[in-house]
Amino acid sequence: MSAQATCRDTAFSGLPACELTLPQGDRLQVALHGAHVLSWVSGGQERLYLSPQSILDGQAAIRGGVPVCFPQFNQRGPMAERLPKHGFARNVLWLADAPELGAEHARLTLRLSDNAQTRVWWPQAFALALHIDLSPGALQLTLAVHNTGTQALAFSGALHTYLAVPDVTQATLQGLGGQPEWDSLTDTHAPAADTIRFAAEFDRVYEAGPQPMTLNETLHISQSPSWANTVVWNPAQDLCKRLADMPDDGWRHMLCVEAAQVYAPIALPAGGRWAGWQRLSLYA
């Protein structure tokens, strides 16, 4: 009988967490706080950036890994004045289902439903699921939203993925060439360059492209068409120094490439469902 994937309950700096491991050596760790993927090791390397100065108190959002932004992106949402930045899903405790474990695949699903804590921010009834699919050389995260209420639901959000890079000033991102680009720092619009480079602070929203992106010719990044946008962000040196939960040089070792819904909220009728995924895979 071939070896099977394993899943074990663990802790990360005191936070309850789960660790998935494949027989081939790929490994993932996710905190129940925020359903926050903290680490993905594949090909013998850590592929995500997690700030060593993250606040791990079970209340604040964690800096790095893959935060789940819901029900708004940044402060663009139907109730922006009441909701935390990037919503509340990354700030609260989720529950884990029993894992599905095979020889070359593992799935762990974490769930969050409206409760007294979420209704302080947002009166909407909902059920979220984050499906984490780990296979050799690949990680797919799928956020599923179910409107369990009797009223229409509108939301925006993102899978706010922090990717590890040796040096962002030497990094290249390809696959968005020609897509509409909004530079939020200068409030200008232009077609995206074929090869995107990072010499200064970078914060841009793209119309999602039909083809996978490639980071440093080592990692493919793709997303479902249900996410309308791709966000690319790096704080660079000056902003990074103002982020209390980042080391001064943290900006150099990360690049956010996010599957997102930024401009137009997604509307779900009562009982409606939506799902959107992002897939990371090693360049073969």
Q: Is residue 1 part of a domain?
A: no
User: What's the pLDDT at 81?
Assistant: 67
User: What's the pLDDT at 1?
Assistant: 59
pLDDT in tens, 53-96: 999 999 889 999 999 999 999 876 666 667 878 899 999 999 99
User: What's the pLDDT at 77?
Assistant: 61
Low-confidence ranges of the chain (pLDDT < 50): none
Q: Is residue 227 part of a domain?
A: yes
Q: Is residue 65 part of a domain?
A: yes
The total number of residues written for the chain in this structure: 284
User: What's the pLDDT at 79?
Assistant: 64
CA–CA gap between residue 21 and residue 24 (Å, rounded):
8
User: What's the pLDDT at 88?
Assistant: 95
User: What's the pLDDT at 284?
Assistant: 72
H-helix segments, 95-152: 116-121
Write out the residue range of the structural domain in which residue 105 sits. 6-282
Active site residues: 160, 258
How many structural domains does the chain have? Answer: 1
